[in-house]
């Protein structure tokens, strides 16, 4: 199914990363979300290598 492409706010994102590194803010990307994104990227690479659609589970 199509996903919405929502405009990002990179200055706010990188300010949040800075604050998380400095210990003054929360991580803007929870570890579980980052792992899920990496799994999707790996699935996309495998799909391209095999030249076929693969299911997202």
Percent of the chain whose predicted confidence (pLDDT) is above 90: 88
Q: What is the pLDDT of residue 42?
A: 98
**Residue 30 belongs to what domain range?**
10-50
Within a domain: residue 55? Answer: no
Is residue 57 domain-resident?
no
The answer to whether 47 touches 54, Cβ cutoff 8 Å, is: yes
Q: Average pLDDT for residues 33-57, to the nearest whole number?
A: 97
Identify whether 14 is part of a domain.
yes
DSSP 1-57: -----PPP-HHHHHHHHHHHHHTSS--SS-HHHHHHHHHHHHHHHHHHHHTS-----
32 lies in a domain?
yes
Q: How much is the average pLDDT of 32-57?
A: 97
Domains held by the chain: number: 1
Query: Residue 31: inside a domain, yes or no?
Result: yes
**Are 26 and 16 a contacting pair, CB within 8 Å?**
yes
Residue 19 lies in a domain: yes
Kindly state whether residue 43 falls inside one of the protein's structural domains. Answer: yes
In a domain, 35, yes or no: yes
């Amino acid at each position: 199914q199509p996903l919405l492409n929502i405009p990002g706010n990179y200055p706010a994102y990188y300010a949040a990363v800075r604050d998380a590194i400095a210990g003054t803010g929360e991580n803007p990307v929870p570890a579980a979300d980052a792992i899920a994104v990496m799994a999707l990227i790996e699935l996309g690479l495998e799909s391209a290598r095999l030249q076929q659609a693969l299911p997202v589970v």
